Amino acid sequence: MMNWKKHIVLFVSLTMLITACGDSETEPLQGKLKREEIEITTKVPGRILKMMVQEGDVVQKGDTLAVLDIPEVEAKLRQAEGAWLSAQSQYEMAQSGATKEEREQVEAVFQAAKEQFEFVQKTMERMHEMYKDSLISSQQFDEISAKFKGAKAQYEQARAKRAEVMSGVRSEKINMAKGQMERAKGALEEANVAYNERFVVAPADMDIQTVALEEGELALAGYTIFSGYQPNAPYLRFTVPESRVGSFSTGQQFTIIQPYTNDEFTAKLVSVRQLAAYANKTSSYPNYAMGESIYEIKLIPDAQDKVAGIYTNTTVLIKQ
């Protein structure tokens, strides 16, 4: 008796499965109307100083969504401005060369060293003659020789410095000053970019769906503050089992129905791709046989104004 019951249950199950498989070939495909999503994050950490929008607002590209308080960046900006000003002055000084006062100072040092050298040189000549006649000791002659060598070194140094100042600054020093100036300029530009990040702006026209933080809360770098949809970027997603995907190809035109209003519009199929996980499937109750691969087809509406009033994630059907 129990075997007959098992056979009956098995027969009913097979009948329902065959019926479901047969119905899945005729019932329309269900899909969703989607819009491209946008998530807005911060590049530098800061505290929300002022929130300019709220959930449900429609904003335009470039609109300010929030203002951050970033005191660390402000301090770095002042440091970069000071370094840039100093490096720029050094470069201009290197290009201009020595001033009139510096030239006069170098000339005075040179003349003093020259007179000292000439005096010691004459003394050295006299002492040399006296040393040859044994009128002075070797110690005395060595002392005057040391003074002569020192005076000569100071004279050569003053002469070289004078020649450098009179001929202008070496090109190597100018290039070095220029390199330091360019480095300071880059640091200043980097600080300005970071400082401008205190304004969180919309990268495109969008419908704000989620605002994650409130005024006074801390936004970390890379944290999503706003998320929403692009109203002008709608598309349609449908999941198709392996048994039916062969009837779809890119470029095809389809008539789409909004089942709750019976509105119709046309759309073009732009891509077909295999889905790797059930979590990505569009329909909550997809009809497909055990073991079948599942594919996603993506369609773009021919006229955006036809879907402007349809909410995101609304169910749509492909008209048979």
Give residue 269's pLDDT band: very low, low, confident or very high (50, 70, 90): very high
> Which sequence spans correspond to the domains of the chain?
30-69+207-318, 98-168
Give residue 99's pLDDT band: very low, low, confident or very high (50, 70, 90): low
Maximal C-alpha separation, the chain? 151
- In this prediction, residue 65 carries a pLDDT of 92
Which residues are CB-contacts of 67 (< 8 A; sequence separation ≥ 6)?
48, 49, 50, 52, 198, 199, 200
Mean pLDDT of 269-297: 69
Express each pLDDT in 243-263 by its tens digit.
888 888 899 999 999 888 888
State the pTM of this model.
Answer: 0.55
Q: In the CATH hierarchy, which fold is given to the domain comprising 98-168? A: Helix Hairpins (1.10.287)
Whether residue 18 contacts residue 304, with contact meaning beta carbons closer than 8 Å, is answered with: no
The SS3 assignment for 242 reads: coil
